[in-house]
Amino acid sequence: MVELGFPELTTEQIECLCKIAEETSRRFILSKVASKDIERMDISVEVEGSKPVDITVEIDLLLSKQNRNINEELLVKDAINQAYTAIENFLRKTK
């Protein structure tokens, strides 16, 4: 984990951060799998604390049985990594 040294986030910044993380991970998954092939996709982003801020991104994904050749765990891991990259970029801009 990298210490970014940013000021305390406002409520609006936290809401924006959560929205960016959710949209980024959703877009990533939909770039790999058609929406009709997704049975369930729940994305949650939690922000706790102020200094340091603890951010957790969780994705619950279930693909249709036609997508047996897609590794769901790897897809979720990659989507979470994309979300954290977007979060880091957002936080760097708020410095």
Tens-digit pLDDT profile for residues 59-92: 999 999 887 788 999 999 999 999 999 999 998 8
Integer Cα distance of 55 and 45 in angstroms: 7
Rounded to the nearest 5°, which phi and psi values hold at 44?
Answer: -130, 140
Q: What is the pLDDT, as a whole number, of residue 66?
A: 83
CATH T-level topology, domain 11-94: GMP Synthetase; Chain A, domain 3 (3.30.300)
Q: Is the peptide bond before 7 cis (omega within 30 degrees of 0)?
A: no
Q: What is the pLDDT, as a whole number, of residue 3?
A: 46
Q: What is the pLDDT, as a whole number, of residue 1?
A: 40
Helix/strand/coil (H, E, C) string of 34-59? CHHHEEEEEEEEEEECCCCCEEEEEE
- Half-sphere exposure of residue 73: CA atoms within 13 angstroms, side-chain side: 0
Tens-digit pLDDT profile for residues 21-40: 999 999 999 999 999 999 99
Tens-digit pLDDT profile for residues 40-51: 999 999 988 766
* Relative orientation angle of helices 72-94 and 11-32, to the nearest 10 degrees: 150
Q: What is the pLDDT, as a whole number, of residue 7?
A: 62
Question: Rounded mean pLDDT of 4-8?
Answer: 58
